[in-house]
Amino acid sequence: MIDPTAVRPAATPPTGRAPRPEPLLLHFAFGLLFGVVLVKSEAVSWFRIQEMFRFQSFHMYGILGSGVVTASALIALSRRLGLQTAEGGEMRIEQRTWQPHANALGGLTFGLGWGLLGACPGPIYALLGSGVTVMVVALASALLGAWTYGQLKPRLPH
Amino acid sequence: MSALFDSLSQPWPWYVAGPSIGLLVALLLLATGKGFGVSSSFQHICAAAFPARAEYFRYDWRRTGLWNLMFVVGMLAGGFLTGVWLANPEPVAISEATRDALAGLGIRDFEGLVPDDLIGWAGLATLPGFVAVVIGGFLVGFGARWAGGCTSGHAITGLAGLQKASLVAVIGFFAGGLIVTHLVLPVLLR
């Protein structure tokens, strides 16, 4: 007897994957761990950023440098092992748009802000969570900055 | 248990923190397919909360941005967890030279992660504090979106992918930071 339920369904037409619901708790957990590392390493500290821009300690350069090398090596290793992302994609860092004027001038603008505030976007969130409540003002300003950029974008060099 | 707690309360050296961040970048890509970055959350929050006619905010933020918003909510929680239970009671152990230079600029408060007299509610009413927090925050948000990423997206993820755009952006980050540290702060804090 042939079990009719054992008949394999016809292959679905190649319309691409159905979008998978986002694993939101997982994203929360990754953010949480990143926040812990940023605070525990003092990368969120205005003092450490000042020390970095004065070239008076290796600490921040060590964090950034070893972070880059580790990420790069692990991604290269997972490609060699033939691993794919959970969504079946290639283990590869997404190409960032090459916009020389925007990268350079936006970078310079960001750097001026980083030097003043002593915190980049990740530390703004982590510091706010850790109890440096004035960062809510910095966050509101950063949102206003991003909003203003969105309005001016067509008129800025990219 | 208390020995473990003590070691967790200590600041982590760079050779623990840096590789931990690199591991998180690779695991995030593997487990969720997402590219590590924080400043795009600014764009998603604007798109969700302050809709504008600008094309930059007209997209389905739930589909492309919800994951990133959960990520930054996680960062708030991570900061809370660390700040409340694992806080280091000692001042940040910056080098003697930095401490002297900052004291020379008039920084008095070396407790905690930030100098409260500059980066604090009381400081907001002063010109240096207003410039540091309000103008600094504005430039961080504006510049990060213009550059197409911040320290996490360009300096860590982009450089790990050997990307030209990220290298140029990071040179810009440092140029800006050096200008502020060596030319602006001595005038602003005098």
Percentage, residues of chain A above pLDDT 70: 87
Give the model's pLDDT for residue B121: 96
Task: Label residues B24-61 b or e (16+ Cβ within 10 Å = b).
Answer: bbbbbbbbbbbbbbbbbbbbbbbbeeeeeebebbeeeb
How does pLDDT run across A20-75, given as a tens digit for each residue? 778 999 999 999 999 999 999 999 999 999 999 999 999 999 999 999 999 999 99
CB distance B156 to A68 below 8 Å? yes
Whether residue A3 has pLDDT greater than 50: no
- What six digits make up the tokens of B69? 């918003």
A residues 49-78 closer than 8 Å to B (CB) = 49-54, 56-75, 78
Whether residue A1 has pLDDT greater than 50: no
Pairwise CB contact (< 8 Å): A24 & B67: yes
CA distance A8 to chain B (A): 30
A30 touches chain B (CB under 8 A): yes
Q: Report the residue of chain A nearest B89, measured CA to CA.
A: A40
CB distance B164 to A98 below 8 Å? yes
Of the candidates A88, A94, A91, A89, the residue with the CA atom closest to the CA atom of residue A78: A91
Chain centroid offset of residue A41 CA: 17
Give the model's pLDDT for residue A12: 42
How does pLDDT run across B20-59, given as a tens digit for each residue? 999 999 999 999 999 999 999 999 999 999 877 899 999 9
Cβ–Cβ pairs < 8 A, chains A and B:
537
Whether residue B5 has pLDDT greater than 90: no
CB distance B9 to B86 below 8 Å? yes
Whether residue A15 has pLDDT greater than 70: no
ipTM of the shown complex:
0.96
- pTM of full prediction above 0.95: no
When pLDDT is averaged across residues B166-174 and rounded to a whole number, the result is 98
Beta bridge partners of A84: A90
Whether residue B169 has pLDDT greater than 90: yes
Give the model's pLDDT for residue A23: 93
How does pLDDT run across A107-141, given as a tens digit for each residue? 999 999 999 999 999 999 999 999 999 999 999 99
Question: What 3-state class would DSSP assign to B58?
Answer: coil
Pairwise CB contact (< 8 Å): A64 & B155: yes
